Amino acid sequence: MGPNGEQVGIVSIHDALKLAQEADLDLVEVAATARPPVCKLMDYGKFKYESAMKAREARKNQAHTIIKEIKLRPKIDPHDYETKKGHVVRFLKAGDKVKVTIMFRGREQSRPELGFRLLQKLAEDVTELGFVESQPKQDGRNMIMVIGPHKKKAEAKAEKAAAKAQRGSEEPSEQEEPSAQEA
């Protein structure tokens, strides 16, 4: 291909190098396995820079899945349970997975059904925001369950940005009205 993307046709290597020197560009092999090999005249430094910028932009917009962890005890107070449930709800709304760990100590280890019931209750309380990704299982002194969000991290991020933009557009109009009344 020529410097403007036009087809040049089958050219010898010597002629192609001469064309590249005249246009002050690089001769880059695009498809080596093709017969004959396909080459392109381009500014290779500019091409590498642009591809690096595209890759950086793609990484910036990429959503990373984060696993948040909440630790509970089998004999948790109802108010403390509500507080911990609020944290789980917040994490799920943000699009993060939540690993819920129940820690058993001493004689509590002989009653794993208490922890199982607590995890079941938590799963039922947050069914509209998430689903049980891995069922509760005993792991030594701990019982672990993972809850995944129904919506993806990117969707949650976009929703949050839209809500923020909505609040931002409402606030100035509210502030203008009182100042107009004062005058």
The CATH number linked to 73 is: 3.30.110.10
| Whole-number Å distance between alpha carbons of 149 and 168 | 27
Same domain, 132 and 112: yes
Q: pLDDT over 90 for what percent of the chain?
A: 25
Confidence of residue 88 (pLDDT cuts 50, 70, 90): very high
Tokens 């984060």, residue?
A: 66
Structural domain tally of the chain? 2
Spatial neighbors of 107 by CB under 8 A, at least 6 apart, are none
Same domain, 147 and 72: yes
Same domain, 75 and 143: yes
Tell whether 168 is covered by a domain: no
Same domain, 109 and 138: yes
* Structural domain range at position 40: 13-61
Kindly state the average pLDDT of the residues 148-176.
74
Average pLDDT, the chain: 83
**Worst-scoring range by mean pLDDT, 23-27, 130-134, 155-159, 176-180?**
176-180
pTM, two decimal places? 0.56
pLDDT at 71: 93
Same domain, 84 and 110: yes
Confidence of residue 2 (pLDDT cuts 50, 70, 90): low
99 three-state secondary structure: strand
Tell me the two tokens of residue 102: 């129940």
Tell whether 160 is covered by a domain: no
Tokens 């969000």, residue?
A: 149
**Worst-scoring range by mean pLDDT, 37-46, 105-114, 115-124, 168-177?**
168-177
- Residue 29 belongs to domain with CATH number: 3.10.20.80
| Whole-number Å distance between alpha carbons of 74 and 160 | 34
Angle at 34 between CA 33 and CA 40, to 5 degrees: 100
